[in-house]
Amino acid sequence: MKQLHKQSHTNQRRDEEMPNNQTPPYSPKSYKHSSSRRPLNYLFNEQRFLFIIIGMMIGSMIFIFQPSLSAITATTTTTNYHINSHIMPSMPRSISISHRERTAFNPRPTGRVPVGITRRRMRTVVTGGAGFVGSHLVDVLMARGDEVIVIDNFFTGRKDNVAHHLDNPRFELIRHDVVQPILLEVDQIYHLACPASPVHYKYNPIKTIKTNVIGTLNMLGLAKRINARFLITSTSEVYGDPLEHPQKESYWGHVNPIGVRSCYDEGKRTAETLTMDYSRNEGVEVRIARIFNTYGPRMCLDDGRVVSNFVSQALRKQPMTIYGDGKQTRSFQYVSDLVDGLIALMEGEHIGPFNLGNPREFTMLELAQVVKETIDPNATTEFRRNTADDPQKRKPDISKAKQLLNWEPKIQLQDGLPRMALDFKNRILKEEQGDIDK
Amino acid sequence: MKQLHKQSHTNQRRDEEMPNNQTPPYSPKSYKHSSSRRPLNYLFNEQRFLFIIIGMMIGSMIFIFQPSLSAITATTTTTNYHINSHIMPSMPRSISISHRERTAFNPRPTGRVPVGITRRRMRTVVTGGAGFVGSHLVDVLMARGDEVIVIDNFFTGRKDNVAHHLDNPRFELIRHDVVQPILLEVDQIYHLACPASPVHYKYNPIKTIKTNVIGTLNMLGLAKRINARFLITSTSEVYGDPLEHPQKESYWGHVNPIGVRSCYDEGKRTAETLTMDYSRNEGVEVRIARIFNTYGPRMCLDDGRVVSNFVSQALRKQPMTIYGDGKQTRSFQYVSDLVDGLIALMEGEHIGPFNLGNPREFTMLELAQVVKETIDPNATTEFRRNTADDPQKRKPDISKAKQLLNWEPKIQLQDGLPRMALDFKNRILKEEQGDIDK
Ligand SMILES: NC(=O)c1ccc[n+]([C@@H]2O[C@H](COP(=O)([O-])OP(=O)(O)OC[C@H]3O[C@@H](n4cnc5c(N)ncnc54)[C@H](O)[C@@H]3O)[C@@H](O)[C@H]2O)c1
Ligand SMILES: NC(=O)c1ccc[n+]([C@@H]2O[C@H](COP(=O)([O-])OP(=O)(O)OC[C@H]3O[C@@H](n4cnc5c(N)ncnc54)[C@H](O)[C@@H]3O)[C@@H](O)[C@H]2O)c1
């Protein structure tokens, strides 16, 4: 419309100029004046510059008093950016545009690929894909041939975790915080973005809630808009300090709403609520996984989670710290088992929630023993006071996942721990070398 | 800066125009051309209009490529608006501006009133102040002489509830949704905005979560920015379907995270978490009230809450609907008792949470009996199947509020119910008259 306006006025201007030019038709001076004088003079004569300024002010006013206009344009710009950068290498640009238009005008399309274009590969986004679990999930999705987009703000994740995919044209890494909305065209959304260990989620509890609630709202909104299937990684922490043992999915939990860990527990519970509400009210296809303690390569070295603590302490020849009396139990699942479970859940028919964890329980004392056996027979232990709200025991009942997803964990702690220790050893070595290099 | 620019160019233009005017100094035609021809011609000649358009485009471009500019201006505009409209009548405008500047440059001011200005009255904002509880709270705050600002989106609230204050210069009503941030200068924030009855909060569960989480985030952010004291009205629903009876504040609750009522229960729990996190991490002075069933004049007529249901059914000569067997109990507190409790909590020293409710329990059957006795001896009852997740019993332990706030409810059901019935009768009459008028 602006374009139209401009053109019509340009014509008008020409029409009105003609009589003027005709009045002194043969004066070289007036001729020079009307078209061939120096551009700067031309600009500053006849108040032209003043009128540019007036125009700028009018233009600005429109945006000041209609800020939404600017928001619209900004969003459109972002959309273009993301779509342009995420279209498959094999797709011509024009398709990506028609794609966007379809989304804009028809909010619930029935498929992701416009009519006439053969669907080639599954397009998957993994939020938090540069983190521990996310990066292992990405490995499997890449191996099966997906186009994978990772969204991560690198709060706890590391580029290193996905560095081996950066050269692959099917892979893309976007630095983005899920607390901000994003527009993408994908078939599946694995929504993992959220710090997982107490030391990280307590660091900025308000941000943790924003990530869980606003971040999940944004990704569910995206799923609805593009008709993608959405999986959220919730946590066994929704059971809190459980009064039932082991925990079934039907257990409502026993959670302190106002404690120092509540930002995570309540944030995840509300994220589950939102997920169910989008399923019930907006028809979004959702999946909910409740993940129990997971370990493996690429875990943070010093995130305060007990397995990583013990292993890195043992490798560094420090005593392993046991909080409380060490009789509280945990179940530990190896990360490849979890990834299998997440994919089975996403591809299956059932919403969940599903417990994904290893029901085999260890006390902290037993865990320390396995670390001794598999990593360093000379490792020692040290006891400290327990932190507030630390749940005393947690063990999944996984019969629902066994029955409906045909899934169960396969890797034993004795097998998984050495694989993790190898990775930790390399990273601790690198770290120490880094220190020496400095 | 824009202003400056404009001026300097205007000068430049004049300077450059002079020689031109000097060249044909005595030609009346050229004189006419430069200043006295008709304004429209003037505008369209010499491409002036084109230059306005170009200027408009440049102005617009700046805002399109720097959308943040527009956001800033928009926020500033809003700020100005709110501050200008909320300063006390006795405060000169210049003070309100220095006020805003202080907030902008010093995010944690020590008082709300700039040095040299005597503080006259408490400035209080009540979100959801056009609702049932909010409007009664406003009545008391107005009566004690506060400047009161009500923020409400009128989802369940009605202007009628505060209409009697609209002429008072100490009162102001703003139509605003707390899901959007707002800037105000006040001393106390009573944050009530949230639909309270199942029929309303289930209507759009996603919106209910946004109101509870994002709305609370916004109001806590405001409290932090202006160093105001913040009180949130949480609910007995945070106890869910309690396994302890009566409920103490230390009880963690038994709440379904993925049910149809979870949007309210989990939303409020997360709002409490946020409130505590702002207290612990940001030093905001907070107060948490957990409100149990409340009744009184101005309740919604058909909100599905049992007291309003029974009373309006009895007044309309319809049978009172009892869900389930009618043996589930509720405690009912009269609204003036609650308002006293909220103010005692706000003015007191303790964060809470505090249960505010009447521990006297009634079964649904007993309640129906009281309605019969006080409203219509001929009222009948009718039984229906219970809704999912409906808690079976709820009763506050209020010893903490008694001890620390010196508060306890005073109005008995037998006294409160007739007052409510009077209000309901008038409104139902009005409603029916409205129907006849149509
Ligand atoms: N590892 C476990 O034992 C465990 C147990 C229960 C649940 N979970 C859940 O699994 C998911 C992954 O956990 P993990 O162990 O890999 O944790 P992690 O901390 O290694 O990974 C989380 C990733 O999310 C990213 N992230 C955090 N906030 C973000 C934001 N606002 N925007 C974008 N990215 C953000 C981080 O940078 C990181 O890459 C989390 O949702 C976690 O709650 C993990
Ligand atoms: N009445 C009770 O029995 C009871 C019990 C427990 C808790 N509470 C709590 O007390 C508070 C007040 O409850 P009530 O009974 O007066 O309910 P109500 O529905 O009468 O009042 C709520 C008010 O908030 C407004 N509101 C809702 N969403 C809003 C939004 N996004 N932005 C701005 N305004 C919004 C509504 O328009 C209404 O005026 C609520 O927080 C409620 O959860 C009430």
Closest listed ligand to the CA of A129: 1
ipTM beyond 0.85?
no
Please report the pLDDT score of residue A428 as a whole number.
Answer: 84
Residue type at B19 in one-letter notation: P
A162 lines ligand 1 (CB under 6 A): no
Q: How does pLDDT run across A92-124, given as a tens digit for each residue?
A: 333 333 333 333 333 333 345 455 455 568 999
- B163 falls in which pLDDT band (50, 70, 90)? very high
Q: Which of A256-270, B35-49, B227-241, B258-272 has the lowest mean pLDDT?
A: B35-49
Nearest to B273 among A53, A55, A257 (CB): A257
Please report the pLDDT score of residue A331 as a whole number.
Answer: 85
Task: Over range B347-360, report the average pLDDT.
Answer: 96
Residue identifier of the C-alpha nearest atom 34 of ligand 2 = B152
Q: Which pTM does this prediction carry?
A: 0.75
Confirm whether A245 is domain-assigned.
Answer: yes
CB B358 within 8 A of CB B321: no
Q: Ligand 2: distance of its center to the CA of B299 in Å?
A: 10
Q: Is the pLDDT of residue B312 over 90?
A: no
Please report the pLDDT score of residue B328 as a whole number.
Answer: 82
Q: Which of A133-142, A259-268, B115-124 has the lowest mean pLDDT?
A: B115-124
Q: Ligand 1: distance of its center to the CA of B303 in Å?
A: 41
Residue identifier of the C-alpha nearest atom 19 of ligand 2 = B195
Torsions phi, psi for B114 (to 5 deg) = -60, 150
Please report the pLDDT score of residue B374 as a whole number.
Answer: 84
Confirm whether A63 is domain-assigned.
Answer: no
Among chain A residues, the shortest Cα distance to B179 is held by A214
Q: From the CA of A33, how many Å to the nearest CA of chain B?
A: 10
> Among residues of chain B, what percentage have pLDDT more than 70?
70
In angstroms, the Cα distances linking A410 to A64, A133, A341 are 60, 17, 11
Return d(Cα A421, Cα A312) in angstroms, integer.
Answer: 8
Confirm whether A167 is domain-assigned.
Answer: yes
CB B326 within 8 A of CB B320: no
Residue-range definition of the domain harbouring residue B216: 123-437
Closest listed ligand to the CA of A263: 1
Confirm whether B50 is domain-assigned.
Answer: no
Residues of A in contact with B276 (CB under 8 A): 258, 262
Q: From the CA of B312, how many Å to the nearest CA of chain A?
A: 30
B264 labelled catalytic = yes
The residues that bridge with B151 in the sheet, in sequence order, are B127, B174
Q: How does pLDDT run across B69-86, given as a tens digit for each residue?
A: 443 333 333 333 233 333
Confirm whether B188 is domain-assigned.
Answer: yes
User: Closest ligand 2 atom, CA of B200?
Assistant: 19
- B133, B173, B302, best to mutate for ligand 2 pocket (most atoms within 8 Å of CB): B133
CB contact under 8 A, A53 and B205: no
CATH of the domain at A374: 3.40.50.720
Q: Is the pLDDT of residue B25 over 50?
A: no
Say which residues have a Cβ less than 8 Å from residue B366's Cβ, sequence separation at least 6: none
Nearest to A44 among B13, B59, B262 (CB): B13
Q: Ligand 1: distance of its center to the CA of B208 in Å?
A: 26
Confirm whether A404 is domain-assigned.
Answer: yes
Please report the pLDDT score of residue B21 as a whole number.
Answer: 39
Q: How does pLDDT run across A362-407, given as a tens digit for each residue?
A: 888 988 998 888 888 899 999 988 765 555 578 999 999 999 999 9
Please report the pLDDT score of residue B69 as a whole number.
Answer: 43
CB B336 within 8 A of CB B419: no
The residues that bridge with A92 in the sheet, in sequence order, are none
Instruction: Name the active-site residue from A190, A264, A278, A295.
Output: A264
Q: How does pLDDT run across A36-68, given as a tens digit for each residue?
A: 445 556 556 666 666 666 666 666 665 555 544
How many domains is chain A partitioned into structurally? 1
Q: From the CA of B228, how many Å to the nearest CA of chain A?
A: 19
Which residues' Cβ are closer than 6 Å to ligand 2? Answer: B 127-128, 130-134, 151-157, 177-179, 192-196, 211, 215, 233, 235, 291, 293-294
Q: From the CA of B291, how many Å to the nearest CA of chain A?
A: 16
Residue identifier of the C-alpha nearest atom 32 of ligand 2 = B177
Task: Over range A24-39, report the average pLDDT.
Answer: 41
Confirm whether A425 is domain-assigned.
Answer: yes
Return d(Cα A189, Cα A217) in angstroms, integer.
Answer: 13
CB contact under 8 A, A52 and B49: no
Please report the pLDDT score of residue A221 as a whole number.
Answer: 98
Q: How does pLDDT run across B206-258, given as a tens digit for each residue?
A: 999 999 999 999 999 999 999 999 999 999 999 999 999 899 999 999 999 99
How many residue contacts between A and B have a Cβ separation below 8 Å? 238
Closest-CA residue to B193 (of B181, B182, B177): B177
Taking each continuous run of H as one helix and of E as one strand, the counts in chain A are 16, 13
Return d(Cα A255, Cα A391) in angstroms, integer.
Answer: 10
Residues of B in contact with A256 (CB under 8 A): 252
Q: How does pLDDT run across A294-307, given as a tens digit for each residue?
A: 999 999 887 777 88
Please report the pLDDT score of residue B259 as a whole number.
Answer: 95
CB A269 within 8 A of CB B266: yes
Using DSSP's 3-state secondary structure scheme, residue B107 falls into coil
User: Closest ligand 2 atom, CA of B237?
Assistant: 6
Nearest to A55 among B12, B54, B206 (CB): B54
Task: State the DSSP string of A232-266.
Answer: EEEEGGGGBS-SSSSBPTT---B--TTSTTHHHHH
CB A59 within 8 A of CB B56: yes
Q: Is the pLDDT of residue B1 over 50?
A: no
Nearest to A263 among B63, B205, B277 (CB): B277
- B119 falls in which pLDDT band (50, 70, 90)? low
- When comparing pLDDT for A100 and A70, which is higher? A70
Residues of A in contact with B59 (CB under 8 A): 55-60, 63
Confirm whether A296 is domain-assigned.
Answer: yes
Among chain B residues, the shortest Cα distance to A11 is held by B50
Task: State the DSSP string of A370-410.
Answer: HHHHHT-TT--EEEEPPPTT--S---B--HHHHHHH-----
Closest-CA residue to A190 (of A297, A342, A303): A342
Please report the pLDDT score of residue B366 as a whole number.
Answer: 87
Instruction: Name the active-site residue from B190, B264, B278, B295.
Output: B264
Q: Which residue has the tokens 């001011």?
A: B109
Structure token digits, residue A146: 């997906």
